[in-house]
Amino acid sequence: MSHFTNNDFIRCWNDILVPKWNRFRHILSGNGKNHSDIAFEYANIKEGQKILDVGCGYGETCLELAEKVGSSGKVIGIDCTTSFLETAKIELAESRHKNVEYILGDAQDHPFQDESFDMAFSRFGIMFFENRVAALKNIHRSLKVGGQMMLIVWRGLEDNYCWRVGKEISLKYLTQPTKVGSTCGPGPFSMADEETCRDMLKAAGFSKIDLFKQNDIDVIMGRDIDDAIEMQLQVGPSGEIIRESGEHGKSMIPKIREDLKKELEKYQRGNEVWLPSSAWIILATKE
């Protein structure tokens, strides 16, 4: 059991991760979209539905869902990070959608109305919750009977060279921190194991799992080589290793940068850098 509370994680998102996400939004949202574009092909979204988007970030998927449910439908996005939702609200006002609302809150225990949603959706959100079963239970409670939940979660680091590349190179020069000072939650790979994930879904009440699909695709990890290198230096497993190694970490950046350049150049398509990734697309029904 972690010594962190969800509030620590929420503080980490608000205080530490916001500038990094703003800086690399084009990559983080870009590789998210590479996966959700495929996931949406499996979601049976109909006009008029009411959909909950959990950990909606900048609300990009809320706007896509709003398009799918049409003006007779509704999308509620919930996120714990104030700044992401401020951006989401500005972009919503600039869009033509009138059927989206944002809630600033902790999706793990937010008092959603019972049985009020036709569908719940989360793109790379749920893995960060301190108690994922409690969060899934809360989502389950908020779904109508027959309602579906779609989750997109990363598979393991071993299957995600897009995140592993920086870690492998950083660990040539630095050691894995044993104690991480601040963290955004159990982490992006906390739902990577299929059996554990199925057990969590079952414990939350999702006895009917309709789809558990491995989605292996290349994703965009930089609009050019420098962009891709900076992103690996600041975000993800390598960003954490460097940050937690303090001054020593900073002093190793030139060497890590050089190695990253050599490796990432192999993955360039034109200027852009595309790397292999793997996620689960999960669809479950509330019976």
81 contacts ligand SAM (rule: CB under 6 A):
yes
Contact at 8 Å (CB) between 217 and 280?
A: no
Calculate the CA 255 to chain-centre distance. Answer: 29
Contact predicate 164/135, CB 8 Å: no
Q: Evaluate whether 162 touches 276 at the Cβ level (below 8 Å).
A: yes
The Cα angle at residue 231 between residues 225 and 236, in degrees rounded to 5: 140
101 close to 76: Cβ distance less than 8 angstroms: yes
Q: How far is the CB of 189 from ligand SAM (least distance, A)?
A: 12
Among 51, 52, 55, 191, binds ligand SAM (CB under 6 A): 55
Short-list 263, 272, 87, CA closest to 170: 263
Q: What are the phi and psi torsion angles at 51 (to 5°)?
A: -125, 140
Q: Which of 12, 24, 32, 220 binds ligand SAM (CB under 6 A)?
A: 32
Q: Is residue 80 part of the contact set for ligand SAM (CB under 6 A)?
A: yes
Q: Return the range that interacts with ligand SAM (CB under 6 A); candidates 54-62, 174-182, 201-209, 214-222.
A: 54-62
Q: Which stretch binds ligand SAM (CB under 6 A): 73-81, 87-95, 189-197, 198-206?
A: 73-81
Distance of CA 19 to the CA centre of its chain: 16
* CA-based nearest residue to 102, from 55, 134, 140: 55
Which residue has 């992006």 as its token pair? 188
Q: Which residues, 131 to 190, sit near ligand SAM by CB under 6 A?
A: 185
Q: How far is the CB of 280 from ligand SAM (least distance, A)?
A: 14
Q: How many residues sit in the footprint of ligand SAM (CB under 6 A)?
A: 24
DSSP assigned state of 24 = T
Binding segment toward ligand SAM, per CB under 6 A, in 53-61, 93-101, 153-161, 278-286:
53-61
Q: Which stretch binds ligand SAM (CB under 6 A): 123-131, 137-145, 211-219, 270-278?
A: 123-131
Q: Does 78 bind ligand SAM (CB under 6 A)?
A: yes
CA distances (Å), origin 94, targets 66, 83, 88, 200: 14, 17, 10, 38
Q: Does the protein bind ligand SAM through residue 222 (CB under 6 A)?
A: no
Give the interface segment with ligand SAM, choosing from 44-52, 76-84, 143-151, 249-257 (CB under 6 A): 76-84
Provide the binding-site residues for ligand SAM, judged by CB under 6 A.
6, 9-10, 13, 29, 32, 55-57, 60, 78-81, 84, 106-108, 123-125, 128-129, 185
